[in-house]
Amino acid sequence: MPEHDLATLLAEAVHVANDYPAVANGVDDSLHEYLRYAVLRLLEGDADQRSSAVDVTVGYGRDAAMADNWRSTVPWWDEMPAREDCTRFRVFYPDDVAHVPRAVSDVMSALGAWRVWSGDAVDVGAYDHQGRREVHYCWPIGHPVEDQLNERLERDTQAVATDGGCAGDVRAREAMNDQIQTAGLEARTQRAINEEMDVSLLAKGGQYEVRSASGSIYDVDIIAETCTCPDYQKREPDGGCKHLRRVDHEIKHGRVPRPDGRLPV
């Protein structure tokens, strides 16, 4: 039996949805978000089920955004058409490991993702991972495993509360609390929060993807405090552009992983 089968993956995704619901706040594909964060937890050792001793690091983002980020320095990326409706996982592991770690293969198989590339990490611009190897997997939004997760979550939310009433969805209550906490923010930050945007971790080290309501996609480096949007490129506004402000807000409220890939406690 695989080390990480579908039941293990779904159980961890349910744990993420129940204990870290804010990871999917502000995104349209909450089930997709719970599952891909569950993958990160399983492979990096945050979940109890992991038993592999191999040092694995996971980064992920929308495939098209990652292609835009790297194609200028990686000639072969254009040979693989970017998939707008897919997540791409970038999994790093030591170069003295002969094959892709079994735990990685098991998780990706259970998820329904397929391998699209493997090689030396430096060949994909990952200079902070020199001396390591890298394998890429693509996983489509709307995969059937999301439906299975949804069924599990619906069963949980229909549970009877201890007082005899129907247990409410803690995710809805947390969203209400977040609205209260935004009162009194600086005006430009408040506008950045109110605007419809999707934020996700693109790569560890502070690289985030921001997708605006218009469909534009920008890369934000929260460590270097830079953004690829026209506003930042033209004038580097004091306090950062709206995308930098939004990423900073999402991190502080635990809605996306921190720059090191982990959620705030």
- Select from 264, 221, 263 the least CA-distant residue to 34: 263
pLDDT of 14 > 70? The answer is yes
**pLDDT of 65:** 82
The torsion angles phi and psi of 119, rounded to 5 degrees, stand at 165, -165
Residue pair 42/4 in contact (Cβ under 8 Å)? The answer is yes
Which pTM does this prediction carry?
Answer: 0.60
- Reported residue count of the chain is 265
121-153 residue pLDDT tens: 877 766 677 788 989 999 999 999 999 999 988
Mean pLDDT of the chain: 78
Residue pair 225/240 in contact (Cβ under 8 Å)? The answer is yes
- Select from 33, 34, 44 the least CA-distant residue to 13: 34
pLDDT of 12 > 90? The answer is yes
Residue 94's beta-bridge partner residues?
132
pLDDT of 265 > 90? The answer is no
Per the listing, tokens 């080290």 go with 205
SS3 135: strand
Instruction: Identify the helix (H) or strand (E) that includes residue 147.
Output: helix 144-157
35-57 residue pLDDT tens: 999 999 999 876 655 445 578 88
Residue pair 236/89 in contact (Cβ under 8 Å)? The answer is no
**What CA–CA distance (Å, rounded) separates 113 from 6?**
12
Q: Which two tokens stand for residue 192?
A: 């950045």
202-235 residue pLDDT tens: 877 888 888 887 788 899 998 888 999 888 888 7
16-37 residue pLDDT tens: 998 888 888 777 889 999 999 9
pLDDT of 66 > 90? The answer is no
Average pLDDT over residues 159-182: 44
SS3 169: coil
**pLDDT of 232:** 86
Share of the chain above pLDDT 70, in %: 79
Q: Which amino acid is at 184?
A: G
